[in-house]
C-alpha cells in the first residue's frame, strides 16, 4: 500500500512533470534564441526607442517562460526524488521476514 501511494502521488507525477516541463523549456529556449537574435538586429540598426522597446519585450516574454519552465522542471525532479527516497527507505520483505524469525528465535 505504501509503495503504491509513493508511486502514484510522487514518483510518477514527478517524472511526468520533468518530461513535460523540460520539453516546454526546450521549446521556449529555441524561440528565445530567435527573438534574442531579432533584438540584436534591431539594436544594431540604430532604431527608434519604440522599435527597441518592442523587440526587448518580445525576447523578455520568452526569457520569463524559460525561467518558469525550468523552475517547474526542477520542482518536479524534487518531487520524484522524494518519492524515490521514500521507496528506498521502505523496509523490504526480506528484512521483515528475517527480523520476524530472529524475534521468534529469541523468545
Q: pLDDT tens-digit profile of 17-76?
A: 999 999 999 999 999 999 999 999 999 987 788 889 999 999 999 999 999 999 999 999
Closest CA to 31 of 74, 68, 60: 60
Q: Are 11 and 87 in contact (CB under 8 A)?
A: yes
Q: Is the separation of the CB atoms in 25 and 70 below 8 Å?
A: yes
Q: Quote the radius of gyration of the chain (alpha carbons, Å).
A: 25
For the beta carbon of residue 69, count every other beta carbon within 10 angstroms: 20
pTM of the predicted model, to two decimals?
0.77
Residue 98, pLDDT above cutoff 70: no
Amino acid at each position: 500500500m505504501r509503495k503504491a501511494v509513493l508511486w502514484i502521488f510522487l514518483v510518477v507525477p514527478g517524472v511526468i512533470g520533468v518530461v513535460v516541463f523540460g520539453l516546454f523549456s526546450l521549446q521556449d529556449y529555441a524561440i528565445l534564441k530567435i527573438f534574442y537574435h531579432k533584438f540584436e538586429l534591431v539594436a544594431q540598426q540604430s532604431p527608434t526607442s519604440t522599435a527597441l522597446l518592442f523587440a526587448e519585450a518580445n525576447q523578455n516574454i520568452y526569457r520569463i517562460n524559460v525561467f518558469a519552465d525550468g523552475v517547474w522542471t526542477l520542482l518536479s525532479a524534487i518531487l520524484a526524488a522524494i518519492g524515490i527516497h521514500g521507496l528506498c527507505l521502505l523496509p523490504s520483505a526480506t528484512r521483515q521476514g528475517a527480523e520476524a524469525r530472529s524475534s521468534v528465535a529469541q523468545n
